[in-house]
Amino acid sequence: MTTYNAPVEEMMFLFNNLKDNKNYNEIEKFKEINSDLVKDILDQAAKINQEIVHPLAKIGDENPCIYENGIVRSPPGYKEAYTKFINDGWTSLSCDPKYGGQGMPKTVSTFFEEMLSSASLSFKLYSELSIGAYNCILHHADEKIKNKFLPKIVEGKWSGTMCLTESQCGTDLGLIKTKATKQEDGSFLLTGQKIFITSGDHDLTENIIHLVLAKIPGGPSGTKGISLFLVPKFNVNDDSTIGSRNGVNTLSIESKMGIKGSPTCVLNFDNAKGFLIGEENKGLSSMFTMMNLERIIVGIQGLGIAETAYQNSLAYAKERKQGKSNNNKDNQTDFIIKHADIRRSLLNMKSIIEGQRSLAFWLSQQVDVSLNHPEKKIRESADELVSLMTPVIKSFFTDMGTEITNEAIQVFGGYGYTKDQGIEQLYRDNRITPIYEGTNSVQAIDLVFRKVLNNKILSKFIKLIKDEIKDDNNKIELKRFSKILEQNLFLLLEFTKWLEDKNKNNKDDVSSACNDFLKVLGYISLGYSWFKTTKISLEKIKENKEFYEEKINTAKYFFDKIFPRIESHYQSAKSGSYSIMNAKFN
């Protein structure tokens, strides 16, 4: 079984030193969120995740969800843990106090999302979609529905799902067949089937609130005819008490590679009563409120699992003896952490993970600004940056999670391949993250075609980086890093120009380059984060020499050993799509 210790010190380093978004610091209601309060929250979060949630990871993997007689049962210990989880208020952390929430900013709740992902992704998924449903209802439902459903979701007594996928369509939602027929009282009756529904049914909550995409007969074809509906498992009375069973039933649950403690359901809607969220035929845009925030959270899942993989790899490398290192002087067998290649693996993990955590913290500030700043133009500007970086966070973080969990297995050797250590489970659990909430290839296509070629959001982000690296304080290490960043920003601009040119006459070249472009932007974004971290570390090195020297050395590793990957992605992309599109595959 793996162990996990929440990296509270790392998180507090970011909160105390890199909360540097001017617009974020202007948000009045967050000014009272000080370091002492955040430290207390994170300490309590660490305690529940380390002591209660983390042991459930192995339990859920070895004793998966059970489906019998139409009922889904969660793994042993999940009910008790979930009861404490909601009694301690963790589902309400980032929710509006109007509905019983604590009103914490994303800068705080993102840290909690990481901890929960590190501890047990399966357990996390029961509450994660509930917060997504909460956000969608909050932004698009009428006041009556908000008041009726949100308090129980915030409390954690009711959970939520997102029902999009059908057997004939996943990415292409215009092909959905689920039908919604309007009734005289303004409600709708939904008929159809949805598949791959995370936490679609379980025994942890009194009710489950499904957000379902469906088509109203007579509406436009394709995605323009999609509407969004709230469909509860149990009908809800006007006083918010639970009424009769609705026409929603579970047909089966999937047998999966990983996240076995989380039920992935096939749901049947048979004249199930539902309520329109937002406008008719505008459901996809409403659902994207939930989907886009969920995509960022999926990226955090990749980060969280990678952190657990790194912690256990480091601990194992310090206790496993094998061979003699090159600088061995006593002719005794060495711990494998003394071997250069193992140290390389560990620094790969460490430099990517800490860079990602810093980037996620930067983005969380942008999310908070986009949702809460009093000035519309500032909110819109921040929202553009969030839109640009969402596919990067989702895809890059989860791809790196796959790389890091794979490398962790390698550090453990044969023991990593067996189930006893729990390392192979981290790989299996993470492997879904590049697939769900829009596959990473789809995210890369979205980034290039919608966010880069059709608008100028990228230039805004590049300007942020350039403004940051202008201020290198005449420090030798910073100057070296700024030069590397500048060189790769030039490459990014050249890559963008190449995409623009190819988009005019050979879109296959563009499509084949999307994944490479996303990786290039991902590594440059981490470089931006490491530059900011190094600047702070050089300023504060006298306060905690060991801590900040380690930061600087890890940044150096990243710029020297990880950044060169950018050039290979660029060269691969520029080779075009000829060999790809001319392959016969006989």
- If we measure between CA atoms, which residue out of 171, 292, 276 comes closest to residue 215? 276
Phi, psi dihedrals of residue 585, rounded to the nearest 5°: 50, 45
Catalytic residue among 280, 437, 477, 546: 437
**CB 305, CB 429: distance < 8 Å:** yes
CB distance 420 to 322 below 8 Å: no
Token pair, residue 386, equals: 């969030």
Contacts of 256 (CB under 8 A, 6+ apart): 264, 432
User: Using an 8 Å Cβ cutoff, are 229 and 190 in contact?
Assistant: yes
Tokens linked to 321: 């003896």
Residue type, 540: K
The answer to whether the beta carbons of residues 120 and 60 sit under 8 Å apart is: yes
| Helical segments of 196-339, H only | 283-319
* CB distance 210 to 233 below 8 Å: yes
Yes or no: say if 189 and 267 are a contact pair by the CB < 8 Å rule.
no
Pairing status of strand 158-163 against strand 207-215: parallel
CB 577 within 8 A of CB 506: yes
Q: What is the DSSP-derived secondary structure letter of residue 458?
A: H
- The burial class, CB within 10 Å (0-12 / 13-18 / 19+), for 39 is middle
To the query of whether residue 184 is one of the catalytic residues in this protein, the response is: no
What angle in degrees, to the nearest 10, is found between the helix axes of 507-540 and 457-470? 30
Q: Strand, helix or coil at 546? A: helix
232-255 exposure pattern, b = at least 16 Cβ within 10 A, e = fewer: bbbebeeeeebeeebbbbbeebbe
> Chain centroid to CA 39: how far?
23
CA separation for the pair 453, 151 (Å, rounded): 42
Chain length of the chain: 586
For residue 560, what are the β-bridge partners?
none
- The alpha carbon dihedral of 78, 81, 87, 90 has a sign of negative
Catalytic residues: 437
